[in-house]
Structure 1
Amino acid sequence: MKSFASGARFLGTGFAVLLRSPKHLLLGAVPALLSAVLLLGCLGTLIYFSPDLVSWLTPFADGWAEFARQALRVLLAIALVGAVGLLGVLSFIALTLLIGGPFYETIAEHAEEQLELDTSGDGAGFTRQLARGIRDSIKLLAIALPGAILLFLIGLIPVAGQIAALVLGALFGAWVISLEMVGLVFGRRGLPFGERHRRLREHRAMVLGFGLPAYLLCLVPVLQLVVIPAAVVGGTMLAHRVLDTRKGVVAPRYSGG
């Protein structure tokens, strides 16, 4: 529980750092706004056409009794929108970080200076870092898509499946968001994508403490504009924590637990 609370404090510190620097808060909100407009438009279109879509997916139910046919299609629509919503949140964060890469690098460096964290890297130039970011975003979406499909199938189970899909979706989303948010520090140090999984698995409670509130807050459309840059700062702290813990060094000026 202490580690979970420590992870949550990283996100809280992210908000505190940005509220003391409105310039960086605004800088981080711009890419999030662009991504939100694009993906919310896609999600809204899906919700609008979902009745037609589920009817097209279930032609075999046309001859069923009215109640059974409508129950099946409502259940399918809920599961479909839920799974796409999860994928949309994770895609939104990946797209936002990709669009706003240089902005978020600036925010992360600002946070590191404020918290006196190590800013060293492997010396890779902008082009190489951009290529890493694109590659990592593709890998993250490759993880998110099968997860969303699995949760969609779980959500087809009446009542129990829908509750399980909500809980598992939140935990899965928390983990993927954490993977995304530590990417700036790991990428700057030249650490491969798989290394993120390995290091974060050693601190599961802390990772969920950070990722779970970040994921849930990202479900609120307008709040996303503030949550993303705050999560970048919190993810920077989380990345330093798991890396410094690994090396037996306690990072200065914060006690992440």
Structure 2
Amino acid sequence: MNPTPSVPTIAPRPTFGDFFQGLALLGRAFGLIFRSRRLFLLSTLCAIVTLVSLVALAVLLWRYTPGLVSHFFARPDSVYLQPLWYLVLVLTFVVLLVVGANAVPPLLLAPLQDPISEATEELCGGSSSPPFSLGAFFRGLVTGITHTLARLFFLVLGLGVLAPLNLIPGMGSILWTALGSLWSMMWMAGEHLAAPMTRHLYPFSEVRRMLRERRALCLGLGAGVYLLLWVPVLNTLFLPVAIIAGTLLYRGLLEAGQLPPPPAARGAVK
């Protein structure tokens, strides 16, 4: 099967360049936004909502993170130890902002995630989305919010498992931040790969299998989304870009034979 020009060509087995190919999916996603009027309009709406929510989130975290850090690691009186405390403060702020950015905007924009993914698949040669209906809209809204909350549970669970590291004075908080960032990157890849796969009725076990078998490829995507959050202006587009990139990854894995045909399509054939 020859992939359409929009579908990335992914090797059927892991390669040395998988991480960078996953990272490059974000560039492809930006390109598709400016090739499709529908994607551009949806992404613009997402950017406006994301900007407002990220600014509000950053203000709240900047106010309350010092108290949270002091609860685990009291601000030292020593001039020599204070830089370490501020380092822990900044790193904790970064992780919490990433977690919040992957919780608040997706919940607010849940109704738009499937339309963005569907429009991406149309550019990849997929079938057109069905006509709008109020019933389908509300079903999509409920399903999107439910699945987002479920995936957020796993994000918080992973960070919670690492939380006891904070009990190690100083270095424990730094270690928690570093490992928490890596967990967040992998989770971001799973979050945005799961979105189109859920829409096509794949079980979550298939998502886990892809995260395990194509770890470097998924980590590249997650790292790109993570870094995008820290680029001013562009970070307002992180959600639509991540959704598009995750859909491109799904289509690439499907074309490479890494995934079986969608269960929804198999059911329709039956």
Output the TM-score relative to the length of structure 1: 0.74
1:18 aligned residue: 33
Question: Residue 191 of structure 1 aligns to a residue in which SS?
Answer: coil
Whole-Å separation in 2 of the counterparts to 1:217 and 1:239? 20
TM-aligned CA distance change 1:6 to 1:78, over 3 Å:
closer
Equivalenced residues, count:
240
Aligned partners of 1:167, 1:42: CA distance in 2, in Å?
Answer: 21
Residue identity opposite 1:201 in structure 2:
R
Q: Aligned in 2, Cα 1:165/1:19: closer, same or farther, shift over 3 Å?
A: farther
In 2 relative to 1, CA 220–113 (structure 1 residues): closer, same or farther, beyond 3 Å? same
Does the 8 Å CA contact 2:42/2:112 hold for their aligned counterparts?
yes
Q: Cα RMSD (Å) of the superposition?
A: 3.5
Q: Check whether the contact 2:20–2:220 (CA below 8 A) recurs between aligned residues.
A: yes
Matched, 1:116 2:125: yes
Instruction: Choose 148-157 or 130-139, whichever is displaced more.
Output: 148-157
Structure 1: gaps (5+ residues): 250-257
Q: Deviations over 1:121-142 (max 9, x none)?
A: 9xx9444433322221111211
Once the two structures are TM-superposed, the CA of residue 149 in structure 1 deviates from its matched residue by 3.9
On the 8 A contact 2:118/2:129 being kept in 1, the answer is no
Render the CA deviation track for 1:86-125: whole Å, top value 9, x for unaligned: 322322xxx433433443333322222222136699xx94
- Aligned counterparts of 1:210 and 1:190: Cα–Cα separation in 2: 22
- The equivalences for 1:200-211 within 5 A come to 200-211=211-222
Match of 2:253 among 233, 242, 254: 242
Which residue of structure 1 aligns with residue 62 of structure 2?
Answer: 47
The one of 194, 197, 201 aligned to 2:208: 197
Shift of 1:11: 2.1
Say whether residues 1:85 and 2:93 are aligned partners.
no
Q: State the identity %.
A: 28
After superposition, give the CA deviation of every residue in 1:196-248 in whole Å (9 maximum; x if it has no partner). 22233221121112221121112335212233222221111111233442357
Q: Distance in 2 between matches of 1:120 and 1:241?
A: 20
Matched, 1:100 2:109: yes
Given residue 57 of structure 2, which amino acid in structure 1 is its aligned partner? C
For structure 2, the 5+ residue unaligned runs are: 1-15, 262-270
Q: Say whether the 8 Å CA contact 1:31–1:100 is kept in structure 2.
A: yes
Over residues 155-195 of structure 1, what are the superposed CA-to-partner deviations in whole Å (9 max), with x where a residue is unaligned? 66545862x44543332222111122123321221223343
What is aligned with 1:187? 198
